[in-house]
Chain A
């Protein structure tokens, strides 16, 4: 079963002249980590809101087509069980924290879904270890950093044990250390929980590291959707859509181009560095050190 199936989606906000989507199609398999990237106003946030069912259930507009979340139509009559299928984390850590302590916040979603108190306690214990929230359970929101609040938001979602977690720019308002904390948890979710993870992000370096597949959105359309290594082959398309392609990948394809190599470049940092190290001497005829020296000679 696929996690997400979107067929011919049309969506126009009330009062808006143009639709955001007009015939969008997209399929995301279950169990993968999928990154959604694109410039602002490309439709990324609206897309994940459709996946979660926020559109059309809590917003007004013209809606046609079909969005299925693990086979269930999000706009169908039967909305029971939708919250359990996928949880959502938003970009503003403060707006998601509506109670007065971490433990109440995590319990809130579970209470909404009718879990009994004993089960709630067990799940809180589990996610607090997973998201490194031990020692923070009694803290009020104003005593937490942005990164800690986002970890609480993720924990609140994970506690409901959904089949998928959708995150809309979860690190955009965070400092670098907090960003790393959030990405570490996403890595744990991917490697240990094998949950479907769908993340809208501007941090392309991290998406390249973590994602199995990447979707490029532009003008309300899916411009590209590939497995991650294949995705980054289309560097010109990505740069034309204001995507900051990691320099490791850019350098690899630059060297491939110069050397007439036609293959898919590794996207993980360590593998890319090994690839570059093996290619540089072939290009320059020098050792790696000499090659770097010649690179930086003009800069002294």
Chain B
């Protein structure tokens, strides 16, 4: 494994029991400390890939290394969750306890940490995730969706995984809330160095926050690069049924030569014009 990569996936193949080929000779690497966006049309294999990475599914062939852990060879649930955290799209799917404290403590208790360690991790994770300690005794089911989402993230952070996979964190959120969640993930990445993989459809979010984009199509990697590199190839993106952000499309349309099409940020556009 390249020492700078936290995840290395080589020649991964996966087929469902009914014969559907979900992944076809997929190889990729995630750099340590990166924020990567995984995008593509529904059914392209994004969810399958993320579930293979966190051990929910076993590959037909190929290898997945997360840190020193060979996920593809089969390992214990404890080893998996201590290396890879997965935050599901709907927080209601992952809230099991009667109090916020118990919810955040749930995972560390499951892996057998001492109660002192659990308590320390709960406070630390809540602080990082922005969950106020005044909520510790509240039921996680009764708080707002935004707080439930933070509780879900905190409950994964309490395990201190190397890689955090976040599944569509901005679905159903307005712009302000979407930006808040993404700013939070970015700050988490900067403060703690967590590697983050975000599955998303929001191109504006991707352009603003990700330092790497992987585009999938029919079980294979179609494109893999920086936002600028990826969004500057609109025809290739359309093969994966992905549209670049509006600002990029704007630049691509108003420039008749089509050569300066890697614009991803409106403020930069304005600065250049001014």
Contact = CB atoms under 8 A, between A and B. Distances in A.
State if A and B touch, Cβ cutoff 8 Å.
yes
B260 interface: yes
Contacts of A297: 272
Contact of A247 (B242, B247, B257): B247
Given A276-B254, A299-B268, A176 B176 contact: no
B204 interface: yes
A27 interface: no
B173 A40 contact: yes
Contact of B242 (A173, A176, A283, A284): A176
A295 B269 contact: yes
A289 B256 CA distance: 7
A175 B260 contact: no
Interface string B5-41: 0000000000000000000000000000000000001
A185 interface: no
A164 B243 CA distance: 31
Interface residues of B, number: 35
B36 to A, nearest CB: 19
Nearest to A175: B42
Residues of A in contact with B, size category:
35 or more
B273 A283 contact: yes
A295 B176 contact: no
Interface of chain A: mostly helix, strand, loop or mixed: helix
A298 B269 CA distance: 10
A242 B256 CA distance: 33
A258 interface: yes
B175 A244 contact: yes
Interface in A241-300: 242-244, 246-248, 250-251, 254-255, 258, 269, 273, 276-277, 280, 283-284, 288-289, 291-299
A202 B104 CA distance: 32
A295 B272 contact: yes
Contacts of A73: none
B159 to A, nearest CB: 28
A177 B250 contact: no
Contact of A173 (B172, B177, B251, B269): B172
Nearest to A242: B176
Nearest to A258: B274
Nearest to A291: B273
A295 B172 contact: no
B266 interface: yes
Contacts of A172: 171-172
Contact of B250 (A40, A247, A284, A296): A247
B255 interface: yes
A176 B255 contact: no
B273 A277 contact: no
Contacts of A146: 42
Interface in B245-274: 246-247, 250-251, 253-257, 260, 262-263, 266, 268-274
Given A39-B174, A40-B174, A292 B260 contact: yes
A292 B228 contact: no
B272 to A, nearest CB: 3
A178 B201 CA distance: 11
Given A39-B175, A40-B177, A91-B172, A250 B254 contact: no
Interface of A: 39-40, 91, 145-146, 169, 172-173, 175-178, 202, 205, 242-244, 246-248, 250-251, 254-255, 258, 269, 273, 276-277, 280, 283-284, 288-289, 291-299
Q: Which 6 A-B pairs have the closest CB atoms?
A: A295-B272, A242-B176, A292-B255, A247-B247, A40-B174, A296-B260
Interface of B: 41-42, 171-177, 201, 204, 228, 241-243, 246-247, 250-251, 253-257, 260, 262-263, 266, 268-274
29 contacts: A39-B176, A40-B173, A40-B176, A173-B171, A175-B42, A176-B41, A176-B201, A176-B241, A176-B243, A178-B42, A205-B246, A244-B175, A244-B204, A247-B266, A248-B250, A251-B270, A254-B270, A258-B273, A258-B274, A273-B253, A277-B254, A280-B254, A280-B273, A283-B273, A289-B255, A289-B256, A292-B255, A295-B273, A296-B263
